[in-house]
Amino acid sequence: MVLELTFVVLKPHVVKVPSISKEIKNIIIRNGFLVIRSKEKILNPNDLQMFYGEHKNKFFYNRLISFMSSGPIEAYVLARENAIHKWRELMGPTRVFEAQFSAPDTIRGKFGLTDTRNATHGSDSTESARREMSILFPDFDPIQWLKTNENHFRGDG
């Protein structure tokens, strides 16, 4: 098994409702993800500028930043085979209309409220995962972690 790391966020409207955040954590565990790091935090403007910098000129940027700083988020580093793709599959499409109509069983299909309040974040590539982890977990070194743990989880012995 080749492990991959991904970076996941439970957004403020989900963290606020314990039954929903518990259900999403169950999805994480049921799907074989290992929780490598986790943290609850209220994101500050500096974190958010780094995190969502690529969307700076989009029409939804200000709404996104004010929502993401409106309460605590929970951030996770998760490990699994094919973690990035698997999480995005479980999470579903970005836009709530599409999620609710074409993927109602996904996390966003079930718990997304609007295009902005769409329940969770998941990295879309290895590079984004590394960049995002470095913002929330500056002391965590994903490359070193994978190197240290690759033999442990190979499952061929």
23 near ligand UDP (CB under 6 A): no
Does 46 appear as a known binding residue? no
6 near ligand UDP (CB under 6 A): no
Question: Minimal distance in Å, beta carbon 139 to ligand UDP?
Answer: 25
CA distance 68 to 24: 18
Nearer to ligand UDP by C-beta: 25 or 95?
Answer: 95
Nearer to ligand UDP by C-beta: 124 or 141?
Answer: 124
148 near ligand UDP (CB under 6 A): no
Residues 73-102 that bind ligand UDP (CB under 6 A): 94
13 near ligand UDP (CB under 6 A): no
Please say whether the beta carbons of 119 and 112 come within 8 A.
yes
Does 22 appear as a known binding residue? no
Q: Does the annotation count 85 as an active-site position? A: no
Does 148 appear as a known binding residue? no
Does 6 appear as a known binding residue? no
Count the alpha carbons within 13 Å of 47 in the hemisphere toward its beta carbon: 19
In the complex, the residues that contact ligand UDP under the rule CB under 6 A are 55, 60, 64, 94, 115-116, 118, 121, 124
Instruction: Write out the binding residues for ATP.
Output: 11, 60, 88, 94, 108, 118
